């Protein structure tokens, strides 16, 4: 094969590999990488082996020093990146949380928007409805549950103040961790039921939360509840929506795998969803800590609790919107 034919056949591969190398060395080149259709990270080892084979073949056939020199340079740069010492685990975890996780969330805008609508609309709708039709709460909860809620958040009954002893705080911290993370994982896993499970779980959670807030607000017990949830809501509610979006993607890939085999499409969605759930689990862990040690503290003025809540909402939404922008792999790299 003549050198011109060899170059024409493989040049697109070399360019894609070169764009990948540039994106690793300079995050500002990441957008150029995507536009050129460059490699996803998981494709790089196989492409690197092909490059080494092509370099050996070019040398054996006596192609020009310019060509073999260029391939040698690409091979050396690839070797330096692929076989360099990995960053410490804490640094990789931090990079995932600050950059990779927000990019994964943004790579599924449709599913995340649908999950938000399925959760928020029933919540707001039920809250508003109970202000005009308070008797509807008895169609959603039995009398014992309603009475327990009213006692727990009765502002006139000091026996049910939200503050607890420190030992009880640690016990509740463990309880909140198990409860919150189990809700998130169930929301994601229910997407395996062709997405219907995730839809139902999101709607159910929205209706239930809206019913609790709507009823307590309607009877005048809303202030203790609002002060209690203000701190941990930014992390907990957002994480539930993200797990729901990952579950919807799981269901969509099962129903409409596109050009992939159904099993392969499900694996792709499962991997991405698992990573999203990992980030959401960290958010739920933070929410559990806040709920146990801050939300339950009755002595903190309402203005401070609401102010902190506003700051946390701003930080969470800003992190998901801006985190990792301009870095490599903005699209998440795992879309089916």
The burial of 74, by beta-carbon neighbours within 10 Å (0-12 exposed, 13-18 middle, 19 or more buried), is given as buried
Residue-by-residue pLDDT tens, the chain, 336 positions = 788 888 898 988 888 888 888 877 644 444 444 444 557 777 888 888 999 999 999 998 889 999 999 999 999 988 888 877 666 777 888 889 999 999 999 999 999 999 999 999 999 999 999 999 999 999 999 999 999 888 888 887 665 555 444 446 667 777 778 887 888 888 999 988 888 999 999 999 999 999 999 999 999 998 889 999 999 999 999 999 999 999 999 999 999 888 888 888 889 899 999 999 999 999 999 999 998 888 888 788 889 999 999 999 999 999 999 998 865 455 444 444
The whole-angstrom separation of Cα 187 and Cα 280 is: 11
Quote the pLDDT of residue 181: 84
Q: Retrieve residue 120's tokens.
A: 């928020």
Quote the pLDDT of residue 292: 86
Quote the pLDDT of residue 85: 65
Quote the pLDDT of residue 275: 94
The burial of 142, by beta-carbon neighbours within 10 Å (0-12 exposed, 13-18 middle, 19 or more buried), is given as exposed
Which residue shows structure tokens 């409805």? 129
For 2, residues 6+ apart whose C-beta sits below 8 A from its C-beta are: none
Report CA Rg, the chain: 26
Quote the pLDDT of residue 260: 82
Quote the pLDDT of residue 327: 56
The whole-angstrom separation of Cα 216 and Cα 127 is: 10
For 129, residues 6+ apart whose C-beta sits below 8 A from its C-beta are: 136, 214
Q: What SS3 state is found at 8?
A: helix
Q: Retrieve residue 209's tokens.
A: 């939360």
Quote the pLDDT of residue 86: 65
Quote the pLDDT of residue 319: 96
CB 193 within 8 A of CB 247: no
| Per-domain residue ranges of the chain | 3-84, 91-322
Q: What angle do CA 96, 78, 279 make, to 5 degrees?
A: 10
Quote the pLDDT of residue 177: 81
Quote the pLDDT of residue 31: 43
């Amino acid at each position: 094969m003549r050198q011109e034919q060899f170059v024409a056949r493989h040049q697109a591969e070399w360019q894609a590999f070169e764009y990948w190398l540039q994106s690793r060395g300079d995050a500002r080149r990441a957008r150029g990488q995507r536009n050129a259709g460059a490699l996803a990270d998981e494709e790089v080892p196989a492409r690197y082996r092909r490059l080494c084979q092509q370099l050996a073949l070019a040398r054996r056939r006596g192609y020009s020093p310019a060509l073999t020199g260029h391939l040698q340079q690409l091979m050396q740069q690839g070797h330096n990146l692929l076989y360099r010492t990995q960053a410490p685990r804490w640094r990789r975890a931090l990079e995932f949380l600050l950059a990779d996780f927000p990019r994964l969330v943004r790579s599924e805008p449709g599913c995340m928007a649908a999950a938000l609508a399925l959760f928020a609309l029933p919540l707001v709708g039920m809250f508003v409805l109970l202000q005009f039709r308070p008797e509807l709460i008895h169609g959603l909860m039995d009398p014992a549950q309603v009475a327990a809620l009213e006692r727990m958040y009765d502002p006139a009954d000091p026996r049910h103040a939200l503050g607890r002893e420190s030992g009880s705080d640690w016990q509740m911290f463990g309880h909140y961790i198990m409860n919150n993370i189990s809700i998130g994982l169930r929301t994601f896993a229910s997407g395996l039921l062709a997405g219907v499970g995730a839809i139902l779980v999101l709607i159910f959670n929205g209706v239930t939360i809206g019913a609790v807030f709507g009823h307590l607000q309607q009877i005048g017990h809303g202030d203790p509840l609002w002060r209690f949830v203000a701190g941990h809501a930014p992390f907990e509610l957002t994480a539930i929506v993200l797990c729901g979006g990952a579950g919807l993607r799981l269901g969509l890939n099962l129903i409409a795998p596109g050009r992939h085999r159904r099993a392969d499409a499900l694996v792709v969605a499962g991997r991405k969803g698992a990573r999203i759930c990992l980030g959401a689990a960290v958010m739920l862990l933070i929410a559990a800590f806040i709920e146990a040690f801050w939300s339950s503290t009755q002595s903190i003025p309402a203005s401070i609790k609401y102010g902190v809540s506003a700051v946390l909402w701003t930080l969470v939404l800003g992190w998901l919107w801006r985190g990792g922008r301009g870095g490599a792999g903005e699209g998440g790299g795992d879309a089916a």
